[in-house]
Structure formats: C-alpha cells, structure tokens
A and B are shown apart, each in its own frame.
Chain A
Amino acid sequence: MLKYSIAALALAACPATVSAEGFPERPINLVVPFNAGGGTDLLLRAFAPHMAEALGGNAFVSNMAGGSGTIAAGALAGQKPDGYQLGYWSVTVATVQPQIKDVPYGVDSWTPICSVAASPTVLFTQADSPFQTIEDVVAAVKADPGKYIYGSSGPGAITHLTAVAAFSGLGVIDDMKHLPFQGSGPALQAMAAGTIQFFGDTELLMASGDFRPLVVFNSERLESMPDVPTATEVGISAPLNELYLWGGFFGPAGMDPEITATLSKACEAAMNSDGFQKFAADTSTVLDYRNAADFDAFFRAQYEANSTLIEAAGL
C-alpha cells in the first residue's frame, strides 16, 4: 500500500517540477482577451504558426472575451506558471484596467515574456473640420467651454486615454465633454455625423477615412505624417506626452527563468519570420520586440506612468 502511495506521490509531483529541458512537451495556448475577429485576434492567429515553428512544438489561439480583457487576465493570473498558457495583454489590460477596476490581478501577477507591437497614438478630427491645428482647438474650447465633445471606444480604452492625454496636457479637459461608445466603429460614425469632434487612436486609422491628425504622442514626428507636431512640441509635458498602444505576451508570475528565456527567444524568431513580417507590413502593425528583462522594466514603468493618465481621466 505504502509503495503505491509513494509511487502515486512521485507521479503527482512530476508535472509540478516543470523541466526547462524538452520544453515544450505539449501545445502552448495563446490567450486572446478579446473576441475572435478583432485586431488582437488576427495578430495572434498570424503569429501562432511562426511561434510554434520557432519553439519546435505546437501553439494554438483561444479567445476569452469580456470586461475589456480583464476576464482573460483574471483567469490566467494565479494559474500554474508552466509556460503552457500565455496571454497577449495590451497596455490597457496590463496597466490600466487593474488600476481602475477591482480585478484579481495587478502589476506583480505576471512574468513578462516579450513585447510584440507598439504604435504611437494620434489625436484626430474630421477632415472637413474647421480646426487646422491643435492651437485652433485650444482657442475654440476656451472661447466656448462645454461645447466640444471627444469620443472614445469605451471608458479606460486607449482611445479614451489619448484624448485625455491631449486635453489634460493642454489644460482644457474640464471645458470638454467625453462621450464613450461601444467600440471604435460607432464612435467614428458619430464623428462623421458631427456628434463628436475628436477621437484618438493609432495612425492605422488614417488610411480608413477622411481624418485630419492634430498631434502625435511619440518621441519624434511620424514618417507617415511629417507635418503633424509631437505632443512635446505643442506643450504637453511628461508623462502625458508619449502614449503607445503596445501589446506583448505574459505568463503567470513565477515562471522558470529558462523557460521564460526559451519563449522570449522563440518570440523574437517568430517576429523575424518572413510570414509574420509580411502580415505586419500588410496590416501596418508597428513591431517592437523587447526581451523578457526589457519588457519587464518597460511594463513596470508604463504601469507607473499611466496612473497619472488615469487620474486625469477621472477613472
């Protein structure tokens, strides 16, 4: 009897001591915290086969939508840190939502693996708008407090934070109204109709409609719009002057450093693969690789910096 018990114990103990050697032994689950078909979902579905190839194993994508990504992050936090379940969290899932909602995860819940994408955000208005520059906007808002409305795809979303960074940084946010929508599509329709005047998102949006960019939240001007000033140039001071929609892979806290390194290297190889590079070029995704250590430092700095933004947004 005792013999059996010991054998059983030994068997049970086996999976707990995850060996870095031979990793991965089974398929890796890449969790998308949003619905199938969205931007993040597409990115991961294009990424998964190259990740699998780089690891010499298998990788599959699963969707766990809800609560602006917090349902998936809440489910993954506290799971066994064996490297077989990784979440792709964006700036909002990882650094904003845990500071505005009561969610079962925080800054210390993760082992950051690698960052994949980062696009600077841009504040837009409609192309036929009377505002040519951000200075025009500030003057108009001051002349007519309470008249102008900025939209967003939802409270706490990157679209919301972009507008907050702009108008709070310029000191006019209290003279404006915020109108959240359920997703970017309805918000952009409202801007075309004139219900809202301003909307912030990544430069990707420029291609899809008649918009006029007013200010970019990047350290320098963007190649695609050389005439548009940076936030610093128009007088928006740190930490509100730079804002990126970034995303990367996270595992639960406490992962084996060797497995983290293996995954991080595989992530880099997958990002450099021809197939994924072509996907990024086709979708104008700005790739931005950071290894595990750099990503960890970046993520923690962003968590801090965004608390200022959250306070300014009144969330």
Chain B
Amino acid sequence: MIQSIPEALSLILTFEGMLVLTLGTMLGIILGALPGIGSTVAVAMILPFTLTMSQAPAILLLLAIYAGSVYGGSISAILINTPGTPQSAATCLDGYPMAQRGEAGKALGWSTIASVCGGLFSAVVLIFAAPQLAAFALNFGPIETFALILLGLTCIVSVSEGSLIKGLIAGFIGIFLSTVGGDPITGEARFTFGQFQLIAGFNLLAVVIGVFALSEVLIRAAALRDGDTPLVDFDGIVLPKLREWKGRIKGLVKSVLIGTGIGILPGTGAATAAFISYAEARRSAPTRDNFGKGEPDGLIASESANNAVTGGALVPTMALGIPGDAITAVMLATLTLHGVTPGIRLMTENPVLMAAIFSGFFVINLMLLPLGMLVSRMAAPILRIKEAYMLVMITLLCTVGVYFVRGIPFDLLVMAGAGILGFTLRRQGYPMAPLVIGMVLGPTLEISLRQGLIITDGSFAAFFVGHPIAAVLVAAAFGILSLPFVRMLKNRKAS
C-alpha cells in the first residue's frame, strides 16, 4: 500500500487529476450547501459523467464530491440555520448563534479548519490502518451497536439547554416519529393511519429542514419589525488565530477519533457521529456552559467529526469490499463500471489504484480550505439582502430542496408540519436538537435492539454476558444519564 504511493502520485499530479480534484471539491461544496441535495444525491448526480473517464480520475471525482458536500452543508447551517443535510444539523446549534452575533466569518473559519483536520486525519487512518480497523469493526455486532446508540442518545441530556424535561420530551417525539413506517423486522406498516405515503415513514430531511430552517423563518417573521437589517453579517471566512486554539486541541482530537471510529462501523453515519461528538464535547469541554450560545468548541466537535466519517466510511468499503452506506455503495458501483472487481481482494489486486484513491482523498481534504473560502465568499453578497426577502428565499430553497429528493409532494406537507411543530415547540422553550437526535438515532436503536433480542432469544440480560464492549458502553450511558441528578442532589446538600 504505502510503497505504491509514489507511483500513485504520478496518477494524481497530472493536469487532468488536479482539475478533477479542484472542480469536484468545489462542486461538492456548492451541492452540499444547497439544502436537500446532500452527499448521496450529489455523488449519484455526478456518476454518469465519470463513465467516460479513466479509473483513477473517475473515483477521485466522486470522492471530491463526497468530501466537499459533507463540508459544504456547514456553510448553510451556519449562515442561515438551514443544514444542507442532516449531518450538519449539529453544526447549527453553535454555528448559527455565532453568526447571529456577527461572527459568521469566524464560525465558518472554525468549521473549515475543523473539517480539514477531521478529513485529513481520517485519510491518514485510511492509508495506514484500513485492513486492521475493518477487521476490528467486525466485533461490532447488533448488540454493541445498540449500546453505542444508547450512549449516543444520552447526548439528548446534554443538548437540552434550559429544561431537561423539555429536552427529553422533544427527544421522545423524535424517536416516536422515527417509528412511523415499515417495521424493520416484520415489514408491516406502523402508525400510518391508512396513509399510504407514510409506509416509508417521515422523510428525515423534510423533518430536519422543517424544524430547523422553516421554524426559524416563522420565528423571524413573527418578530419582523424593521426590515433593513440583514439576517447575518458576513464578509468571508476569518480563520482562527493560532493562539485561539489554546485549550481546544484536545476536543478536536477527541472529535476526530469519534468521527473516524463511527465512520468505520456499519449502519451509522455522519449525522450520528456529529451528534455523539457534539454531546461528548458538551459533557467534557471546559467551555461547556457556553454551548448552544455560539461556542467554537461545539462547531469544532460536530464539523471535525462529520468530515472524519468520510475517511472512516471508506475503511470497510475498500478493505472488505462491503459498503457501509449508500454513498460508499455508489463508489463501489463506480469501480465495477470501470472494470475493477470490488471485494475482499480489492486492495491486494489494485495496489496502485487504491494508493491513488487514498492519497487523492488526502489532497481533497487539503483543498477544502482554499476552496471553502472561495465558495463561501460567493455566498456573502446573497446574505446582504433585506431580511424579509431573505426569509422568502430560505423558504423557497427549503421547498425546492425537499421536493428535489424524491419528487413526492407529501414530503412538502411533512416539512410544513415539522416547521409549524418546531415553531410552536420552540416558542414554549423546547429545544429542537433532541428531536432531530431522536429521529436520527431512533431507527438504528430499534433495529439493533430487536436484532440483539433475536440473537439472544429474547433475553435482554444476555446482552451483557460475553459482550464486554456493550456492557461498558451501556454503563457509560447510565453514568451520563444520572449526572444531572447527582449534580442536583449535590446542590441541594450544599444549600
């Protein structure tokens, strides 16, 4: 693998190679920033264009689109509170408050550097340890996955600013919404009330855009008095100074590790990684009390983790030939179309191509920095529009984005409903992040729990016998859940 890198570089450092990487990354950032398109659709849209290209540029173009789109989602999340994809939903939590405070440029600076760090680290992991990590990830069966997701759900506690009860209620609403649709084990339709369209459940993107972006539009519209102030003040990315990194490196490293690790596991993804990493930062960062109010550490946590997932997800894909999600499945399909047999022998049979893919992936992540600055610069003039017009534009963008994914009008109703629900709940002081977390993690929680119960013949106790990883993760989850109560008791004693 490593000895093939020099030869691989001669494939990348050509005019065609660099052109593909630059244009691909830039296009990926733009597609990711537009709500609704997201990584999977972006990659699938570009796929037909790769058919006439040779092997290495074709797959590098798709990788560039992939990495670019995951980063691009953070631009709209920070500037207009509209996550381009569910994976940047956690970025809204601190990114948008920073932007509202007039620090949009700084927020994007943090998110850009964090994304680059996350992507680069995961690329290094991919180059040096893919086969070993892929083998280790196989230890994560349904029971371990259930324990991990349970731990992830405890982040609802930490993102519930204000009221823990309200946060839990929002979280349960999210989990409940995720149970609507086909039963993952029996295939039966649940909670559809005879509505055929609900057979596939609520579209996650429609709900996320509804509760974040549309509800924000409604709240702003309700408070609209003087229409002359622009929504956010933004003139381009302001990169963080070196000394501002003081005390934040540890959090960055932790988030990057979480992102890469979760990326390697099957059946999870960038949205899960971003939320779990955000929750961990919120639990342990020295600045935790500022989270949710525009704290750079929160941005670093979510953005470095979701970009680290990109490299992590490629680990099982390239080492085992088994795609963990829809995007990596497209990558493997592309290889097939170019006459490369994906599978367990992929790396041994095509060492140069694989080295080219991995080193190209490294270069792509380096390019995120200059290209991210360029693309968000282009967004700046748009943001100077009057607030009222801006709100209309956001609504339009959301509508087109949600409709674009499946072309089903019903999804627009879901978005509108989620927007009104979000508006009502937010006015009553319910946080929206737990709702989205519940919806993102709910399906994996359910299927892994029920798979586990099938394996153990219905014994929940058997989850912890012979599954040490699961036992540790569940113990950690209960520890975090009891923390607020322990603190409450302590305060009571003190007073």
Q: Does B18 contact A (CB under 8 A)?
A: no
Bound CA span A109–B185, Å: 28
Bound CA span A311–B43, Å: 39
- Tell whether, in the assembled complex, residue B327 and residue A177 are in contact, meaning their CB atoms are under 8 Å apart: no
Residues of A within 8 A of B337 (CB): 42, 279, 282-283
Q: Does B83 contact A (CB under 8 A)?
A: no
Most buried by B among A64, A66, A74, A180: A66
- Tell whether, in the assembled complex, residue A185 and residue B44 are in contact, meaning their CB atoms are under 8 Å apart: no
Residues of A within 8 A of B44 (CB): 35-37, 41
Bound CA span A102–B457, Å: 30
- Tell whether, in the assembled complex, residue A71 and residue B199 are in contact, meaning their CB atoms are under 8 Å apart: yes
By beta carbon, the residue of chain B nearest A31 is B407
By beta carbon, the residue of chain A nearest B186 is A155
Q: Does A70 contact B (CB under 8 A)?
A: yes
Residues of B within 8 A of A283 (CB): 336-337
Shortest C-beta distance, B296 to chain A (Å), equals 35
Q: Does A257 contact B (CB under 8 A)?
A: no
Ordered nearest first, which 5 A-B pairs have the shortest CB separation? A66-B200, A36-B44, A155-B187, A208-B343, A37-B330
Residues of B within 8 A of A104 (CB): 196
Shortest C-beta distance, A286 to chain B (Å), equals 15
Bound CA span A12–B435, Å: 48
Cross-chain pair count, CB within 8 angstroms? 149
One of A130-138, A190-198, A230-238 at the interface: A190-198
Bound CA span A185–B189, Å: 24
Bound CA span A207–B203, Å: 34
Partner of B138, one of A70, A103, A185, A192: A192
By beta carbon, the residue of chain A nearest B443 is A182
- Tell whether, in the assembled complex, residue A36 and residue B45 are in contact, meaning their CB atoms are under 8 Å apart: yes
B→A interface (CB under 8 Å): 40-41, 43-45, 47-48, 137-139, 141-142, 181-189, 194, 196-197, 199-201, 203, 266-267, 316, 320-330, 333, 336-337, 339, 341-344, 406-408, 443, 447, 451, 454-455, 457
A→B interface (CB under 8 Å): 35-39, 41-42, 45, 62-68, 70-71, 74-75, 100-104, 146, 149, 154-156, 177-182, 185-186, 188-190, 192-193, 195, 207-210, 279, 282-283, 315
Shortest C-beta distance, B453 to chain A (Å), equals 11
Bound CA span A37–B183, Å: 24
- Tell whether, in the assembled complex, residue B138 and residue A64 are in contact, meaning their CB atoms are under 8 Å apart: no
Bound CA span A283–B328, Å: 17
Report 20 cross-chain contacts, Cβ distance below 8 Å, ordered by A residue. A35-B40, A35-B326, A36-B44, A37-B43, A64-B408, A70-B200, A71-B408, A101-B188, A155-B183, A155-B184, A177-B454, A179-B454, A190-B142, A193-B139, A195-B455, A208-B341, A209-B321, A210-B344, A282-B339, A315-B186
Partner of A185, one of B40, B48, B324, B457: B324
Bound CA span A65–B139, Å: 32
Bound CA span A193–B199, Å: 32
By beta carbon, the residue of chain A nearest B342 is A208
Bound CA span A74–B188, Å: 16
Bound CA span A22–B296, Å: 62
Shortest C-beta distance, B425 to chain A (Å), equals 26
Bound CA span A67–B201, Å: 8
Residues of B within 8 A of A62 (CB): 407
Bound CA span A100–B199, Å: 12
Residues of A within 8 A of B40 (CB): 35-37
By beta carbon, the residue of chain B nearest A100 is B187
Partner of A207, one of B48, B325, B343: B343
By beta carbon, the residue of chain B nearest A156 is B187
Shortest C-beta distance, A96 to chain B (Å), equals 10
By beta carbon, the residue of chain A nearest B343 is A208
Partner of B406, one of A64, A181, A190: A64
Say whether, besides A68-B182, A283-B337, A315-B187, A193 and B138 are in contact (CB < 8 Å).
Answer: yes
Say whether, besides A70-B199, A283-B337, A209 and B187 are in contact (CB < 8 Å).
Answer: no
Bound CA span A37–B327, Å: 8
- Tell whether, in the assembled complex, residue B344 and residue A45 are in contact, meaning their CB atoms are under 8 Å apart: no
Residues of A within 8 A of B336 (CB): 282-283
- Tell whether, in the assembled complex, residue A190 and residue B141 are in contact, meaning their CB atoms are under 8 Å apart: yes
Residues of B within 8 A of A74 (CB): 196-197, 199
- Tell whether, in the assembled complex, residue A37 and residue B322 are in contact, meaning their CB atoms are under 8 Å apart: no
Shortest C-beta distance, A79 to chain B (Å), equals 13
* Additional pairs, 11, CB under 8 Å, beyond known A70-B199, A155-B186, A180-B447: A42-B333, A67-B199, A71-B199, A102-B189, A103-B196, A179-B454, A182-B267, A193-B138, A193-B141, A208-B341, A208-B342
By beta carbon, the residue of chain B nearest A205 is B343
Bound CA span A75–B427, Å: 37
Shortest C-beta distance, A190 to chain B (Å), equals 7
Bound CA span A189–B317, Å: 10
By beta carbon, the residue of chain A nearest B324 is A185
- Tell whether, in the assembled complex, residue A149 and residue B322 are in contact, meaning their CB atoms are under 8 Å apart: no
Residues of B within 8 A of A181 (CB): 267, 447, 451
Bound CA span A315–B203, Å: 25
Residues of B within 8 A of A37 (CB): 40, 43-44, 47, 326-327, 329-330, 333
- Tell whether, in the assembled complex, residue A182 and residue B184 are in contact, meaning their CB atoms are under 8 Å apart: yes
Bound CA span A177–B328, Å: 29
